[in-house]
A and B are shown apart, each in its own frame.
Chain A
Amino acid sequence: MVKHQKNLPRQCTVVGATTIGATHIKRNQPNQDALLIKVLPNKIAGVSATEQMAKAFCLSDGHGSKRCFRSHIGAQFAVESLVEAFEVHLAPLCEALDALDPSVLRTGMCGVGKPPLEALRPLAERALKGWVQKVMAHLKEHPFQLEEVDALDYAGKRALGGNALLAYGATLLGVLIVGNRMVGINLGDGDLIVYTNKSSAHHKYEDHNTIGDHTYSLCTSGALAYWYYIVRGLEDVDAIFAATDGYRNSYRDLKGFEQVGTDIVKLSAKKGVSTIEENWESWLSETSRLGSGDDISAAIALFTHAKKEKKRLWR
């Protein structure tokens, strides 16, 4: 007879990868996406070691257009800035999260009214400011070159003259998991989906401006107003899935795309998380090749119950 210890804490494993799309290979352009996964030490006293860990994963999609000729650099700065913002604001975020009822889902826009978590707005501001600072420092070290600017039309040159950030334009999507709570932030056309045992919920901001590969961006004026956030407990969550738009655009319909997370939860339950880790990058590559042809970055946080080592009883 085998016994398993009940009510073991759930383990959270984050699997992520990024793959360059066929379109950029053909154009001799770099991968415009960036991905960063990090464990953040949580220095709150009086808490056990495991609960002190917070996990963050962030993705960014550089626009890759002629006007955004350094967007692959902008994407890298974006993920670094959001992770840094999570680190700096971790303590006040944890305090605020602890005060919330984990069974209640909270969503909204950072720039509109008062978010339910006071700590969210300064977090977003810190990330945005951090990105701008990194971009301006890079620009100072590496001024625009003639060959970069010459490729632009007149309108493009004028636009760049008015806002140098355009050259680094990128989206940003990040998830912070701490204890049994999560915070998600989504600026742009990336996808953030939370899977429970009952359903899945898709979290992003869209309006009539965001079709045809148009997206809200770190480089646009008033970007903060378009930061979508989600705060919720994780008791009933099986997985949190985040991806740049190249992934969703590779499926015939939204249902087919949302099925990705459902299939992964089932597969990891059946064959273990290691199966996901081993195959993740090749799945992304195949999806891009047969679908959108775009760069794809995706990460999934899987929540599984830890199993006590089986003890075989001899009778």
Chain B
Amino acid sequence: MRPGGELATRPLHFIFIADCSTSMRNSGKMDALNQAIREAIPHMRRVAEENPNAEVLVRALRFSSGAQWHVEAPTLVDDFEWTDLESSGVTDMGKAFEALADVMAMPPMSERALPPVLVLISDGQPTDAYQEGLQRLLAQPWGVKAVKLAIAIGRAVNKKVLQAFINNDQIDVLQADNAQALVNYIKWASTAVLKAASSPASQFAGHEGTNVILPQIPDDFWDGTQVSVEDVW
């Protein structure tokens, strides 16, 4: 007898944006990224279960020479399986931003969605004119309201570009200098940040950016991490 149409939880889109340029082949970076995402999935499922009013939908976008969807359809986290990425080509980050702009537009995004979480992982410099793609992304209201994180792999990264993508001076680029750090940051982004985005509070309009309060990286984040010189990228 309850009035109204079909009830539904609110969609929360989580997108991995992965640099698959040739340089990611070096020093096991691509293997580490694949492993990190694969290990994060069970934790994401646990977070989704603990926040039943958010419908967590996962996708992955790869960019090297051009940008292509690795997992194109927004996939329920319980059904999300990871197929390894491979590296080859240059670093067309701008093309990735354009692809993101397309999916952040309304439609396909809806007003009732929860703020999306976009996680960009890169080890280098864009090789295309990324500014246009980034402008297009940030021209979308959801492009601005999304929680955007960037993980820099190694020291050859252009952090200014990653910071421009984040578009929030309260959030720094995360620096991963070894495989364990990458695993830890991916896990943090796909659990603590996902949890925060699952139940955001309202925010008064005019406050720029996302209304998701990012959790602090905990003090024991690096506990148990043992890194030797050879492991550092």
Contacts and interface: CB of A to CB of B under 8 A. Distances in A.
Contacts of B226: none
B5 A256 contact: yes
A215 B202 CA distance: 7
A252 B203 CA distance: 22
A210 B207 CA distance: 10
A256 B6 contact: yes
B204 A255 contact: no
B1 A279 contact: yes
Contacts of A263: 3-4
Interface string A197-226: 000000000001111111111011100001
Contact of B213 (A23, A65, A256): A65
A155 B170 contact: yes
A293 B53 contact: yes
B89 interface: no
B141 A208 contact: yes
Interface string A61-101: 10111101000000000000000000000000000000000
A169 interface: yes
Contacts of B53: 22-23, 291-294
B28 interface: no
User: Is the contact region of chain B dominated by helix, strand, or loop, or is it mixed?
Assistant: loop
B141 A212 contact: yes
Contacts of B170: 153, 155
Nearest to B199: A23
B141 A252 contact: no
Contacts, number: 136
A250 interface: yes
Contact-residue bracket for chain B = 35 or more
Residue of A212, A249, A259, A263 with most chain B CB atoms under a 10 A cut-off? A212
A26 B1 CA distance: 28
B229 interface: no
Given A64-B202, A214-B207, A215-B205, A248 B1 contact: no
Given A63-B204, A65-B202, A213-B211, A259 B4 contact: yes
Interface in B1-21: 1-10
A165 to B, nearest CB: 10
Contacts of A155: 170
A215 B207 CA distance: 10
A169 B2 contact: no
B195 to A, nearest CB: 11
B86 to A, nearest CB: 35
A259 B2 CA distance: 11
Given A249-B112, A293-B53, A215 B4 contact: no
A252 B7 contact: yes
Interface stretch (A134-142, A282-290, A305-313): A282-290
Contacts of B52: 22, 293
Given A212-B115, A221-B206, 4 more contacts: A22-B53, A252-B5, A256-B6, A290-B9
27 contacts: A63-B202, A64-B201, A155-B170, A169-B204, A209-B205, A211-B106, A211-B141, A212-B141, A212-B211, A213-B211, A214-B145, A217-B204, A217-B205, A220-B205, A220-B206, A221-B206, A248-B112, A250-B7, A252-B6, A253-B6, A256-B4, A259-B5, A262-B3, A267-B3, A290-B9, A291-B53, A292-B53
Interface of A: 22-23, 26-27, 61, 63-66, 68, 153, 155, 166, 169, 171, 189, 208-217, 219-221, 226, 245, 248-253, 255-257, 259-264, 267, 279, 283, 286-287, 290-294
Interface of B: 1-10, 52-54, 106, 111-115, 141-142, 145, 170, 199-207, 210-211, 213
**In the complex, the 8 A-B pairs of residues with the closest C-beta atoms, listed nearest first:** A256-B5, A293-B53, A263-B3, A65-B201, A212-B145, A252-B8, A209-B205, A260-B4
